[in-house]
Amino acid sequence: MKRAEDYKKSIGSLRRPVYYRGELVSDVTSSPATAPHVNAAAETYAMAFEPEYEDLALAHSELLSRRVNRFTYIHHSPEDLVKKIRLLRAMGQRTGTCFQRCAGWDALHTMYILTYEIDQKYGTTYHERYLDFLRHVQENDLMVAAGMTDPKGDRSRPPGQQVDPDLYLRVVSVKEDGIVVRGAKAHQTGAVNAHEVMVLPTTALREEDRDYAVAFAIPADTPGLTFVFGRQTNDGRKLEGEGWDAGNRRFGMVGGEALIIFDDVLVPMERVFMLREFDMAGRGVEVFASTHRQSYGGCKTGVMDCLIGATSLLAKYHGVDRASHVRDKLAEMVHLNETLFGCALAAGLQALRTPSGAYMAHPLLANTVKLNATRFIYEIARLAHDISGGILATLPSEIDFRHPVIGPQIRKYLQTAPGVRPEDRFRLIRLIESLTGTAALVEVMHGAGSPQAQKVLLLRQANLAHKEQLALRLCSPDA
């Protein structure tokens, strides 16, 4: 298994074009824009060497007959899916942000299940091929970025009816030793600091769109790949002073999402895990959705623990921590957060066995988690703003604080409860600002699928017919 430093070194040495604000980033591990995200991902490596997390951070791989970093492990029991949530919460508490390894992990898990089921249906041998790849990932403790979401162009049209056929990633040609793909994947978490990129279809597909039914994994430095690093809220602040105005200075905001462009990339055949089995694309989406939506009740609750703690502390700094309305709001924040966590655990506990032997999170409960997250995280953020006060929107810059003339004045006038150092307060304010920033909220809204996708799946899983029978029994004349 890799240590945090091994991970950074291996990522730092990757050569591929990464653009940010019009420039090529030479080394993502040192560029101020990307380094925090590398730091966050590195914690997934660090934790695996800490004895107190042994049970959560490691798991026994049957494939290697040894323990591996759990972020490369395939869940084989409900208990595994419960441990996943506990691990993610611990990681969220540690980083206060997205640590980026879940999407790829969940994609790994999805393809394990999907390749098995495609083989069952079509007599193909994807699963064995896939196991080779998985072994490689586990042996080298690789970080995999998931390439799930296509740009989608006009959302009212299927892939093949877009103005440009490349608006969904597709197979351009099939060669003896591999396939050539073109297109892009958008909003990809951890993309610029992953070793591998794993691509899956983003939607159920019809026969005429079979060229869009493709899944594969390739090293991040494969020729033809380009990465465009997106902007986050207040991203420019990482470059100023010590960087405290950026908030979560060390680990950054959200997951360093990037647009990945595939410009006629050649994928060797041993890395192709689905090729034109269009009718299985929907199943893949369903498995990935359940798997990834459950995750939000882990990582986000950990991040929210940081926010709740920061807010509670700021209330103390301000001298309002004993006000009954402040206590009521803190209780509400905790309540919402634990509701998310509880449902995510339950989605693990109620996990379903798939034909491959792997378990997937309970779809109904997993969708419940994600839908609640799109509401509760916003409400927790709103309550944090309520308790924190207007200073969240008007605090002068760190540079002002350090200014010889105006700095002392700021310190004088923005001091609060006795014994609280103004700079400690300022750092906390910036942390709260960062934890509730637009990009952080939007990620919760749309990561793992938008709310409407959850509603649709919820209803599909709800078994209304059974509930109708229950009602009928109760009001039948001979009840």
Which parts of 247-276 interact with a copy of itself (CB under 8 A)?
A: 247-251, 254, 257-259, 261, 263
Q: Applying CB under 8 A, does 474 fall inside the site for a copy of itself?
A: yes
Binding residue for a copy of itself (CB under 8 A) from 113, 167, 198, 289? 167
Residue 128 Cβ vs a copy of itself, minimum distance, rounded to whole Å: 34
Q: Which is nearer to a copy of itself, 1 or 4 (CB)?
A: 4
Q: Of 117, 196, 257, 398, which residue is the catalytic one?
A: 257
Q: Which amino acid, 328?
A: D
Residue 258 Cβ vs a copy of itself, minimum distance, rounded to whole Å: 8
Contact in structure between 358 and 112 (CB atoms under 8 Å):
yes
The CB density around residue 236, as the number of other CB atoms within 10 Å, is 14
Residue 475 appears among annotated catalytic residues: no
Residue 296 appears among annotated catalytic residues: yes
Contact in structure between 143 and 195 (CB atoms under 8 Å):
yes
Sites for a copy of itself among residues 269-328 (CB under 8 A) = 305-310, 312-313, 318-320, 322-325, 327-328
Q: Which is nearer to a copy of itself, 2 or 94 (CB)?
A: 94
Contact in structure between 439 and 254 (CB atoms under 8 Å):
yes
DSSP string spanning 170-237? EEEEE-SSEEEEEEEEEEETTGGG-SEEEE--SS---GGGGGG-EEEEEETT-TTEEEEEPP-TTGGG
Residue 346's nearest CA partner among 322, 363, 331, 324 is 363
Q: Of 44, 189, 202, 374, which residue is the catalytic one?
A: 189
Strands (E), 220-355: 225-229, 258-268, 272-275, 352-353
Q: Which is nearer to a copy of itself, 269 or 414 (CB)?
A: 414
Binding residue for a copy of itself (CB under 8 A) from 104, 151, 159, 190? 151
Residue 257 appears among annotated catalytic residues: yes
Residue 416's nearest CA partner among 327, 330, 313 is 313
Q: Applying CB under 8 A, does 459 fall inside the site for a copy of itself?
A: yes
Q: Applying CB under 8 A, does 65 fall inside the site for a copy of itself?
A: no
Strands (E), 354-479: 359-360
Q: Which is nearer to a copy of itself, 65 or 324 (CB)?
A: 324
Residue 439 Cβ vs a copy of itself, minimum distance, rounded to whole Å: 4
Residue 470 Cβ vs a copy of itself, minimum distance, rounded to whole Å: 5
Q: Applying CB under 8 A, does 143 fall inside the site for a copy of itself?
A: no
Residue 102 appears among annotated catalytic residues: yes
x/- site string to a copy of itself, residues 86 to 105, per CB under 8 A? Answer: -------xx-x---------
Cα 236 to Cα 399: distance, rounded to the nearest angstrom: 14
Residue 202's nearest CA partner among 273, 106, 281 is 281
Q: Which amino acid, 101?
A: R
Binding residue for a copy of itself (CB under 8 A) from 48, 81, 347, 361? 347
Q: Of 29, 44, 102, 343, which residue is the catalytic one?
A: 102
Q: In this chain, which stretch among 53-61, 128-136, 264-272, 454-462 interacts with a copy of itself, using CB under 8 A?
A: 454-462
Helical residues (DSSP H) of 13-158, grouped into ranges? 35-46, 54-57, 78-95, 102-122, 126-140
Residue 380's nearest CA partner among 302, 455, 453 is 302
Helix, coil or strand: residue 447: coil
Helix, coil or strand: residue 405: coil
Residue 306 appears among annotated catalytic residues: no
Binding residue for a copy of itself (CB under 8 A) from 43, 245, 277, 286? 245
Sites for a copy of itself among residues 348-387 (CB under 8 A) = 349-350, 364-365, 367-369, 371-372, 374-375, 378, 382, 385-386
Q: Applying CB under 8 A, does 458 fall inside the site for a copy of itself?
A: yes
Cα 85 to Cα 133: distance, rounded to the nearest angstrom: 25
Q: Which amino acid, 258?
A: A
Q: What are phi and psi for residue 187, nearest 5 degrees?
A: 55, 35
Q: Applying CB under 8 A, does 106 fall inside the site for a copy of itself?
A: no
Binding residue for a copy of itself (CB under 8 A) from 127, 187, 271, 292? 187
Q: Which is nearer to a copy of itself, 358 or 364 (CB)?
A: 364
- Total number of residues that touch a copy of itself (CB under 8 A): 156
Sites for a copy of itself among residues 426-445 (CB under 8 A) = 427-428, 430-431, 433, 436-443, 445
Q: In this chain, which stretch among 99-107, 139-147, 197-205, 467-475 interacts with a copy of itself, using CB under 8 A?
A: 467-475
Q: Of 34, 53, 72, 98, which residue is the catalytic one?
A: 98
Q: Which is nearer to a copy of itself, 127 or 187 (CB)?
A: 187
Q: Applying CB under 8 A, does 203 fall inside the site for a copy of itself?
A: no
Cα 132 to Cα 146: distance, rounded to the nearest angstrom: 18
Q: What are phi and psi for residue 171, nearest 5 degrees?
A: -80, 120
Contact in structure between 4 and 38 (CB atoms under 8 Å):
no
Cα 74 → chain centroid: 17
State the catalytic residues. Answer: 98, 102, 189, 257, 292, 296, 299, 443
